[in-house]
Amino acid sequence: MLASVLSDKEKSIISSCKVEYPFMKFTPKKPFTLVLDLDETLIHFRIDKNNENKGLLRIRPGLNAFLKEMYNIYELVIFTASTQDVIYHFLMKIL
């Protein structure tokens, strides 16, 4: 599984950021919330057929600039159907 390739820093972030299901931390600092779908919208990941711990991660062009601009306007929520260990690995790549 991908969790076996996470760095110690990534594992530390995962353990410190857990939020009890099904609730998110509520921080109403901005009047509107922008919900973005991660899977197949912001990123695309294809697992290597020969090694399930490796794969190709494609990040949508201009994503970092878009997220920085939207962060100035909205509270950002990134939605995913992926598991928590996988999602934090991807978030470390795009944030």
Give the architecture (CATH level 2) of 2-94: 3-Layer(aba) Sandwich (3.40)
pLDDT score for 10: 64
| Statement: residue 84 has pLDDT above 50 | yes
Rounded distance between C-alpha atoms, residue 25 and residue 12, angstroms: 19
Domain ranges of the chain: 2-94
pLDDT (0 to 100) of residue 43:
87
Measured in degrees and rounded to the nearest 5, phi and psi for residue 58 equal -115, 125
Angle, in degrees to the nearest 10, between helices 84-94 and 63-73: 100
pLDDT band at 2 (very low <50, low <70, confident <90, very high): very low
Query: Which tens digit of pLDDT belongs to each residue from 23-70?
Result: 566 666 788 889 999 888 888 888 888 887 788 888 899 998 999 999
